[in-house]
Chains A and B, each alone.
Chain A
Amino acid sequence: MIALLGKLRGKHDRAVLLIVFWLFLALLGPLCSSQDPGAIGSQPVFSSPSITHLLGTDYLGRDTFARLLNGIRHTVILCFASTLIACSVGTFLGIAAVTVRPWLEAVTGRLADGFLSIPSLLFALLVIAVFGTSTVALIITMGIIYAPGAYRTSRALAQRIVRLDFVTVARARGESTAYIVLQEILPNMAGPMIADVGLRFIYSVLLLSNLSFLGIGVQPPEVDLGSMVRENMLGMVYGSPAMIVPVAVIAVLTVGINLALDSSRGKG
């Protein structure tokens, strides 16, 4: 793996590879373990790692490794999906705000300010209290929560770019708005926007973990990294991997993706 990373020439490729690695783990990871993540065995709770239980067992004596792979699946897929929604909606509105009509900027700008002023955890609690928790509800909620931030970033970037002379010239030539947005504006804001995606992804992983920790995120029998931490809090006293490993994975996932995306910016 490291040898392969070394062979990749650009930092850009490494970022793509890291994302592919996590998606791969999310989609196929659960196949890597023969244990049933939900089965409560005869094992003692919070047991140490062994051949049958690679990372030991959790507070109900379930296999931690199998549950971890399942948890990664939920966390990664939910957060990728919500980041994708947040950033596409945000970027689209941000560019539209500066290219279409002044009133659109006024309306979307105030809306975004309104959303930004609500604490994200509170907003998520509210939505879930009304609509109940489900995977789709969580994805859409987190998408809505982080879209205003992406909107502000992309609007600020696009505002600077639309004033540049090459956009003026394209306008004077009579190019369509779609061409100006796709060909003249977007490529020149890709670098900072990618870094922003990394940031939004971290936020959504942390928010999802928080929600699950509070018990209103991913619901049993499904599991995600945040809910694993909550379930196995008692294990902290025993230094159990059931508690420590999910925490470590959250850290590695968020920091890794952010570093990779951050270093790939500026490279088209």
Chain B
Amino acid sequence: MSTDTPDAPADDTPSRAELAARVDELADALAEATDDDDTKKMSIIATKGTLDMAYPPLILASTAAAFGYEVTVFHTFWGLDILHEEQSKNLKLSSVGNPNMPVPNAVAALPGMDRVTTKMMERKIEDNDTASIEELLETSLDMGVEFQACQMTIDLMDYDENDFYDGVTTGVGAATALQDMADADIQLLV
């Protein structure tokens, strides 16, 4: 009996060389699939620009960054105002449409009421030592959070790319956001 290993057996059985090549291929695929899985990722889509709704994405982004997550926040429509250097300092709180407001809608709809409720909220934020939107944004940027400004909405709102905070990524669209969401462990729409 021969001690040689038959190299090319009959029928469809793959050869040893073919099997070895397939094993290498699978080992590579496995390494690739498990490689960058160590870093957790979070993807947030921020669509709102009122003072109250600007907080959740920034609080979650900075907190996730503290947990070591790689965070991307894609800002679209009114969410763009959070990244806009000037607008971000003037975010408003709507007095209508919120049944928890201490005034009835009929009164809340009067001219100037949004300014009143916004001032009220701003004072509460200050009294409570809650971080400002600007502070949360700067902190998140320092921690490596990637803020993206949707190009389509920049054009739609007639904003200039230079209106945004330094470090904000422009020139991105839905496909970029989708790719981020597909790669992320946590995806949120705010």
A and B: bona fide binding partners: no
